[in-house]
């Protein structure tokens, strides 16, 4: 395995990038709201004050999904007419079914498209089944709105599903942009290369401070022989919890397995996992 890249690009992200990250962090947070995954034809909502940008947009939920197994996958598919987007948003880990899937970290090969790639069994199996349910709806929307961009987004467990969906379903003629927040590692170095290469220019893996989730699988005990890597680039939020994020707070980290960002931290701040630009629980009672 090649040595980890230690290059750190120390620059503020452009304001437009922070604007994008803010919007899709709110879309990810909204996937926790029962009003979104239990509704069809309604507007995407959060608790008052949580999704201030999102709630000002012309959005329509096309379909919501709750408890889709395996994985107990929950979230929604929406159209954003303000920004001309088709958005698939996944909720993070909330249920026993989510946690069981998280824990199935043994790796399996991906045949055909990625030689030498090994991927987290639980996430790969969950997406493989869910894709058969959701992709026909996305294909139909893409035909209906041919000029709209397709976005997959999610927090934590939801970020893992969004990543697999974007890299396995996106094509040169129909790219899928990816925005994840606190996403766990998904596979070995070869698979990290594959993800990195297939999300160039349209992949935003956001981490926060010493959130342990994005690096957890690389810290598995040595009795496990599976190797996990992080993808590039990483957008590392260095500010604290419950404070507004400004452009100097986000450092762009280049290189697979680069320890200049979250991977080089050692803390176990679970509060950092739940604060990404804003509160990642869009609805506190769900």
Residues known to be catalytic: 156, 211, 273
Task: Report how far residue 255's alpha carbon sits from residue 25's, in angstroms, rounded to the nearest whole number.
Answer: 23
Q: Mind giving me the DSSP string for the chain? A: -PPPP--EE--PPPHHHHHHHHHHHHHHHHTT-HHHHS-SSSPP--STTTSTTGGGS-EEEEEEEEEETTTTEEEEEEEETTTTEEEEEE--S-SHHHHHHHH---EEE-TTTSTT-EEEHHHHHHHHHHHHHHHHHHHHHHHHSTTSEEEEEEETHHHHHHHHHHHHH--SSS-EEEEEESPPP-B-HHHHHHHHHHSTTTEEEEEETT-SGGGGGGG--TTS----B--S-EEEE-S-TTS---GGGEEEE-STT-TTSGGG-----HHHHTEESEES-SSTT-
3-state SS string over 217-280?
HHHCCCCCCCCCECCCCEEEECCCCCCCCCHHHEEEECCCCCCCCHHHCCCCCHHHHCEECEEC
């Amino acid at each position: 395995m090649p040595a980890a890249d230690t290059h750190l690009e120390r620059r503020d992200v452009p304001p437009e990038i922070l604007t994008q990250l803010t919007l899709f962090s709110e879309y990810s947070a909204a996937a926790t709201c029962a009003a979104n995954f239990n509704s069809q034809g309604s507007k995407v909502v959060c608790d008052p004050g949580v999704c201030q940008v999102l709630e000002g947009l012309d959005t329509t939920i096309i379909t919501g999904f709750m408890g889709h197994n395996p994985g107990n996958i929950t979230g929604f598919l929406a159209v954003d007419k303000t920004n001309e987007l088709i958005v698939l948003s996944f909720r993070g880990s909330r249920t026993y079914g989510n946690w069981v899937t998280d824990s199935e970290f043994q790796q399996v090969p991906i045949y055909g498209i990625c030689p030498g790639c090994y991927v987290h069994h639980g996430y790969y199996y969950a997406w493989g089944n869910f894709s058969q349910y959701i992709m026909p709806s996305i294909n139909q929307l893409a035909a209906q709105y041919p000029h709209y961009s397709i976005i997959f987004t999610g927090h934590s467990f939801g970020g893992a599903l969004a990543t697999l969906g974007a890299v396995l379903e996106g094509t040169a003629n129909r790219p899928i942009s990816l925005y994840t927040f606190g996403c766990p590692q998904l596979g070995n170095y070869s698979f990290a290369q594959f993800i990195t290469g297939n999300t160039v220019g349209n992949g935003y893996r956001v981490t926060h401070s010493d959130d342990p989730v994005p690096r957890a699988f690389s810290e598995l005990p040595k009795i496990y022989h599976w190797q996990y890597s992080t993808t590039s680039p990483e957008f590392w939020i260095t500010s604290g919890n419950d404070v507004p994020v400004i452009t100097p707070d986000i450092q762009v980290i280049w290189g697979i397995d680069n320890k200049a960002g979250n991977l080089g931290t050692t803390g176990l701040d679970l509060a950092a996992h739940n604060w990404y630009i804003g509160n990642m629980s869009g609805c506190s009672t769900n």
